Amino acid sequence: MWEQIHDGYYYLISQSYITLFLMLWVLVIFEIPRYLFSFFTALTFLRKKSEFEVDIESLGKVSVIIAGHNEEDAIEKCVRSLWEQSRPPNEIVVVSDGSTDGTRNILRRLLKERLIHGAHSTELRGGKSSAVNLGVRFCSGDIIINVDCDCSFDYHAIRNILYQFDDPKIGAASNSILVRNWGVNLITIFQAIEYSISISLGKHALLMLGQVTCASGAFSAFRKAALMQAGGWDSGGGEDLDITLRLRHYGWKIGFAADSICYTDVPTSLVALVRQRFRWERDAIRLRYRKYRHFINPLEHRIRPKELFHQFEFLLFNVIAILVLPIYLAWLFFTYGTNGWFVLIAAQMILMIMDIITFTLSALSTPKFKATPIWPYLLGYSILYVNLMRIVRLYSYTQEWIFKTSYTDTYSPSKVHRVRE
């Protein structure tokens, strides 16, 4: 074994720079630029806080919408936690989306106790988008915060996200999402690392470019005027990406408040995780390159340069980077034979070092993120989890391009699928 490692090491260091570039061209073109920009972003935004001198009361009334299906175990806890915020909402409106459990009775009691200002229930489940749209109709706030009722929130979550709206061009704002149940098993630990890197640090990078493109459905704030202009949430999956893309198309900026923190539970089994990611990735392709394909048409008279840049950036570093991976692997072993294994090991070591640096920077730039217990799992995350997600994306993109699988998923009711674009 040690002899093979020795041979592989000397095989690689004996290559010229040009040959090494050719061996690792996928890494150089698609991976290293993203990591380097993340490093630069983290150093720029490290420990940057919201602008506390802003008078958030001057921003207007704040309404919170909670929409859910069969959430009797979570709804009351969510409502009470919102009233414990350092800047509590002016009103809370709850919508039961065709619930068949005891949600309706709980809402009646909360309404009687004046813990909520509106309780609305539908007989049939219409999906989260329709439920939130119903809630918006009964909200009087200038800023509307949409939350998942199974999430919990940092004491200053609402206050810190409101600072974003001091800029009149901000139409929506997202925040940091941390994994609440990270300690359950290896799957949840890996997701905690991923959320820290992709959301806390990743959105910092996107904010620097003015390219934040997804106001998470778990906790996001919206300017009501912007929502009305965009037409509210549309039916079907990927509603958070959908509304954000439309807001950007209408010229609104999307903010990100790193110190506004929401805690959520993530899937605890591999099957549930893969199903969730299949849905997310398929919806991303459907929305970007089917429903809103005119956003990337250079001949479209309404095209915005920033949108064109964003869509092609996603196409290059997410879609193409994944689709060329099997081609790269086939080429690598066809060209270099068994020495291709040495190249792959070297590539994985480079990525692993970059993942460690990235996680360190994301931990430093994310308030209240307890990274110390997670450190020992970074090796497994880089080798196992990241490569698993590459396979998931490859399968999802292929499925969606060929079979349009997002149109038949079970996340939304079947009647919603029938009215999709």
Q: What is the pLDDT of residues 45-86, one digit of tens each?
A: 665 544 456 788 899 999 999 999 999 999 999 999 999 999
Q: What is the pLDDT of residues 186-218, one digit of tens each?
A: 999 999 999 999 988 888 888 888 889 899 999
What is 262-323 written as a DSSP string? EEE----SHHHHHHHHHHHHHHHHHIIIIITGGGG-TT-TT--HHHHHHHHHHIIIIIIHHH
Q: What is the pLDDT of residues 236-284, one digit of tens each?
A: 889 999 999 999 989 999 999 999 999 999 999 999 999 999 999 999 9
Q: Which residues pair with residue 261 across a beta bridge?
A: 176
**Statement: residue 399 has pLDDT above 50:** yes
Supply 304's token pair.
């915005």
Instruction: Determine the average pLDDT of the residues in 88-107.
Output: 97
Q: If you average pLDDT over every residue of the chain, what do you get?
A: 91
Cβ(341)–Cβ(233) below 8 Å: no
Instruction: Determine the average pLDDT of the residues in 110-131.
Output: 95
**Statement: residue 375 has pLDDT above 80:** yes
**Statement: residue 383 has pLDDT above 80:** yes
**Statement: residue 416 has pLDDT above 80:** no
Single-letter code of the amino acid located at 76: E
pLDDT band at residue 347, thresholds of 50, 70 and 90? very high
Task: Report the percent of the chain where pLDDT is more than 70.
Answer: 94
Q: Which residue has the tokens 């994944």?
A: 322
Q: Which residues pair with residue 252 across a beta bridge?
A: none
**Statement: residue 388 has pLDDT above 90:** yes
What CATH number does the domain located at 56-275 have?
3.90.550.10
Between 236 and 34, residue with greater pLDDT: 34
Burial label for 374, CB within 10 Å (0-12, 13-18, 19+), is: buried
What is 197-247 written as a DSSP string? IIIIIHHHHHHHTT------SSEEEEEHHHHHHHTSPPSSS-HHHHHHHHH
**Statement: residue 37 has pLDDT above 90:** no
Instruction: Determine the average pLDDT of the residues in 381-401.
Output: 97
H or E element at residue 365: helix 340-365
Enumerate the domain spans of the chain: 2-45+305-417, 56-275
pLDDT band at residue 337, thresholds of 50, 70 and 90? very high
**Statement: residue 369 has pLDDT above 70:** yes
* pLDDT of 50: 46
Instruction: Determine the average pLDDT of the residues in 309-337.
Output: 94
